[in-house]
Amino acid sequence: MKRALSIAFMALMIAKIGSAQSLIGAAKAGDFRLFEKTVKSGASLDETDELGMNVQLSLAYFSLKEFKKACALLHKKGFDFDKPVANNISLLYLLSYSCSHEKIQTLLKYNVDVNRKNDATGLKPIDATQFSTFKFYSEQIIAEDAFVNAEKTRRLLLKHGSEDFKYADLNFGNVGNFFFCILNMIVVYYPFIHPEMINSKELFDFSELNGQPQAAVKKESLIELFKSINLDVEISSYTDKNEILQQLIDTELSEDTYMLMAQTGNSPLAPYQWVNINGGNYGKNPDFDHPLKVANPDGLYQFIEFRVRDISQLLTFKIKQAEREAPVN
C-alpha cells in the first residue's frame, strides 16, 4: 500500500513539474516539442520572464517551420499574438526589426496591428526595417541581402494595411546606440562626461545609401576623440565566430586593459544592436552558447539576453595609455 502511494505521489510531482515548465524557456531553446507539451499541460499563456519578455515575443526564437507550428497551436487556444512588452513593442515590431518577412507572412494571419507604434520613438513596424541597413560605424559590416530583405518586409506590410514607410530622423533617440556605447566606455575614466561634450559633426560620416540617410562614427575620428581625453586606444575588429570567442577569452585574461563592443547581428530577435561587453568568464565555459554580460544603451530591447553566438562583429579597444586628467573640450 505504501509503495502504491509513493508511486502515485511521484506521478503527481512529475505532473506538477511538467506543468511548471516555462513556455518562454522552451521557445528560447527552440524546443517545439517541449513548448507543445507545456501548452497542452495547461501552462499560462500570460507568462513573463524576469527581463520582461512575454510568450508572444519569445516565439521569434523558433525557426520558420517551428514558428508556424507554434502559431497554429496557440491560435487554437485563442492566443493574443499582439500583446506587447514594455515600450509597446509587439511581436510584429520585433520581426519587422529583424526583417523576418517569412515569419511575418505567417503572423499576419492572426489579427495583429501593423501600425502599432513603440512608445519611445513613435516608429511603426514598417519603420523598424531601416535599422538593418543603417551604418552606425564606418567599419561596420552590413549583410549583402539586407536591403533586399528590408524591401521585401516593407512590401509585405504595405500589402496588409501598413501606413507608409519613413526614414527616422538622425537623432540620438533613433540612431544613437553606437554613440552611447562609446559614452559608456569614456565614463569609466571620466564619470562626469555628458553626451554633448563628445558630440561633434567631425565624429560622423554623413552620407546616403540607397536613399537612406546615414551617420556612421568614423574610426579615425573615434581614435582622435579618445586621444582628446588622454586615452590612447588601438581598435581591432573581428567577424569570424571562432576569432570572436577567442578574443573574448584572451582580452579577459590579458594583463592589458581592454574595452569591448559588439554588434548582435546573429541574434534572431535584435540583430542590429551595439552593446558594451562587461566581463563574463568566457574562458571557464568557452562555447558559443555562453551568455554575454552586456550593457545595452537601447532601452527598447532590455528584455533580450544575448549569447556569444549572437555576435556578428566584435570591436576591441586596447587602452595603451590612460592618464586621469581633465578632458579637453
Of the CA atoms within 13 Å of residue 70, those in its CB half-sphere come to 30
The whole-angstrom separation of Cα 179 and Cα 298 is: 11
- Hey, what CATH topology would domain 17-159 get? 1.25.40
Domain boundaries, the chain: 17-159, 172-322
The whole-angstrom separation of Cα 291 and Cα 305 is: 8
- Write out the three cell numbers for 211: 536613399
Is the Cβ–Cβ distance between 260 and 314 less than 8 Å? yes
178: Cβ–Cβ under 8 A, 6 or more apart, which residues?
A: 136, 137, 217, 261, 274
Burial of 222 (0-12, 13-18, 19+ CB in 10 A): buried
Residue 286's pLDDT is 86
Give the residue from 296, 303, 7 showing the smallest Cα distance to 177. 296
- C-alpha dist (Å) from residue 228 to 168, 204, 261, 315: 31, 16, 20, 20
Residue 279's pLDDT is 82
Arch. (CATH architecture) of 172-322:
Alpha-Beta Complex (3.90)
- Write out the three cell numbers for 7: 508511486
Q: For the chain, what is the radius of gyration of the CA atoms? A: 22
Mean pLDDT score across all residues of the chain? 90
* Angle at the Cα of 128 from the Cα atoms of 124 and 133, rounded to 5 degrees: 155
Residue 321's pLDDT is 64
**Segments of the chain scoring below 50 in pLDDT:** 1-20, 324, 326-329
Residue 328's pLDDT is 45
